Amino acid sequence: YLFALYDPVWFIIKPEWVAVILIVLLTASVERDFEKQLTLFVLGMCQGELVYSFVIQKLAGTLAVGGFQWLSACSAGMILLFGIFKYEQLASQIGQKSKRSNKGATKMS
């Protein structure tokens, strides 16, 4: 966000989406448990919002922390994490079914 404030020309897509995707990828790569991923994601978003507000407060004065834009980004990230979790579950189930079907095929031959 701070880089986009000083030089907004570099961003083709919205900086909010870049931040959400980056934090989701970091969270998914650090933690495997879904509940811990959600907790880590929300804590990271809160911490980033506080640091951003402290820096902006020195430049622009008072600023509301945790506005609708932050809430929208946080909910989008949580939905994205949930989608990744469900995708991993589906891939695991498909892998188990394919192992079972291959195992049965080798017994028949």
Write down the pTM of the prediction: 0.74
Q: Quick one: pLDDT at residue 2?
A: 63
Q: What would the pLDDT profile of 46-78 be if each residue is shown by its tens digit?
A: 998 888 888 888 777 777 777 888 899 999 999
C-alpha–C-alpha distance, residues 105 and 9, integer Å: 58
Instruction: Tell me the C-alpha distance between 57 and 63, whole Å.
Output: 6
Return the ∠ at Cα 51 (arms to 42 and 75), rounded to 5°: 25
Quote the tokens at residue 47: 């911490």
Handedness of CA 62, 66, 71, 77 (dihedral sign): positive
Q: Cα–Cα distance between 45 and 23 in angstroms, integer? A: 8
To which H or E segment does residue 66 belong? none
3-class SS of residue 81? helix
Alpha carbons 26 and 23: distance in angstroms, whole number: 5
The tens digit of pLDDT for each residue in 10-41 reads 667 777 788 899 899 999 999 989 999 999 99
Token pair for 82: 């949930």
